[in-house]
Amino acid sequence: MNNNPIGVYDSGLGGLSVWRELRRALPDESLTYLGDGKNCPYGSRPREEVRLLADDAVASLLAEGCKMVVVACNTATAAAIDFLREKYPSVPIVGLEPAVKPACLETRSGVVGVLATERSLDGEPFRRTAARYGSGIEVITAPGRGFVELVEQSREDTPEAEACVRAAVGEMLDRGADRIVLGCTHYPFLRHVIERVIGDRDVRIVDSSAAVARRTGQLLDRFALRAAEGHKPEYRFLTFADDVYAERLRRKAFE
């Protein structure tokens, strides 16, 4: 048993969509969330820059005593996950990638849409999974331009948000996609807007949060790291930005 916290890291607010699922699935576990904030968004930054930012974040979480780390950022996973696992071999590190596998296995129309950042779509994890499971499937990709900024600025419920979503998913819907993958942890915060744009079409939205929580639980068991049953969890929120941003993280987590 190990009552130390699980570290959860994202470029900003987005990883809180994963944090919420971890809290629900692993109620005895303490969670220390680091939302960079200062350098968000990551989506179009050079790979090497994202790798350095991810390294700083993971090092900070380990310095806080975290027993494992969930990289709750698709862009950081695409740019840095192999590097992080090589640098910190004694620490279980969970990464994210767009949920292309379940979408491709479940589609009935044979058309799957993937919304993600430019860096995630260009990353090896996405390309590897799409090649493996996308045979015979039309996979339509689009960057969610402006999505991260909308979430970071708390402008999810605005006409601008709906316009951005329509621009991103329009072609997917026109070409018959019946699964739309949310390939960035910020994007679930726009889920209600995406659902409004989808309307009455028979389209399912797919994201990775529940799968990440399951994988985290598996690694806790594999390495005997679970907190004691009935342990009272603590939740901490860290950032490379300022105290105002840290408080925004805390509020958003419990909305």
- Spatial separation of the C-alpha atoms in residues 241 and 123, rounded to whole Å: 27
Residue 68, both tokens: 């494992």
- CATH classification code of 6-96+209-253: 3.40.50.1860
Place of tokens 């419990």: 254
Predicted confidence at residue 56, as pLDDT, reads 98
CA-nearest of 76, 33, 60, 38 to 253 is 33
Residue 44 has pLDDT above 90, yes or no: no
Give the active site residue among 40, 66, 104, 184.
Answer: 184
Amino acid (one-letter) located at 50: V
Answer yes or no: are the C-beta atoms of 101 and 133 closer than 8 Å. Answer: yes
Predicted confidence at residue 118, as pLDDT, reads 86
Predicted confidence at residue 93, as pLDDT, reads 98
Q: Residue 73 catalytic?
A: yes
For the chain, the maximum distance between any two Cα atoms, rounded to a whole number of angstroms, is: 51
Residue 50 has pLDDT above 90, yes or no: yes
Mean pLDDT of the chain: 95
**How do residues 181-206 score in pLDDT, each as one tens digit?**
999 999 999 999 999 999 999 999 99
Residue 100, both tokens: 């292309």
E strand intervals along 185-251: 204-206, 235-239
Residue 162, both tokens: 């709906």
Residue 20 has pLDDT above 90, yes or no: yes
**How do residues 78-132 score in pLDDT, each as one tens digit?**
999 999 999 999 999 999 988 999 999 999 999 999 999 888 888 778 888 888 8
- 183: helix, coil or strand? strand
Predicted confidence at residue 207, as pLDDT, reads 94
Amino acid (one-letter) located at 82: D
E strand intervals along the chain: 6-10, 31-35, 68-71, 93-94, 111-116, 138-143, 179-183, 204-206, 235-239
Amino acid (one-letter) located at 61: L
Q: Residue 184 catalytic?
A: yes
- 113: helix, coil or strand? strand
Give residues with Cβ within 8 angstroms of 187, minimum separation 6.
Answer: 14, 115, 144, 147, 194, 207
| Mean pLDDT computed over 14-30 | 97
Predicted confidence at residue 156, as pLDDT, reads 95
- 87: helix, coil or strand? helix
Residue 150, both tokens: 């909308």
Work out the angle at residue 138's Cα, subtended by the Cα atoms of residues 135 and 140, and round it to the nearest 5 degrees: 125
**How do residues 133-188 score in pLDDT, each as one tens digit?**
888 999 999 999 999 999 999 999 999 999 999 999 999 999 999 999 999 999 99
Give the active site residue among 40, 66, 73, 104.
Answer: 73
Answer yes or no: same fold for 6-96+209-253 and 100-206.
yes
Residue 108, both tokens: 């009935």
pTM over 0.75? The answer is yes
- 93: helix, coil or strand? strand
Residue 250 has pLDDT above 90, yes or no: yes
Binned at pLDDT 50, 70 and 90, residue 31 comes out as: very high
Binned at pLDDT 50, 70 and 90, residue 43 comes out as: confident
Predicted confidence at residue 205, as pLDDT, reads 97
Ordered by start, the domain boundaries in the chain are 6-96+209-253, 100-206
CATH 3.30.70.100 fits 100-206, yes or no: no
Predicted confidence at residue 8, as pLDDT, reads 98
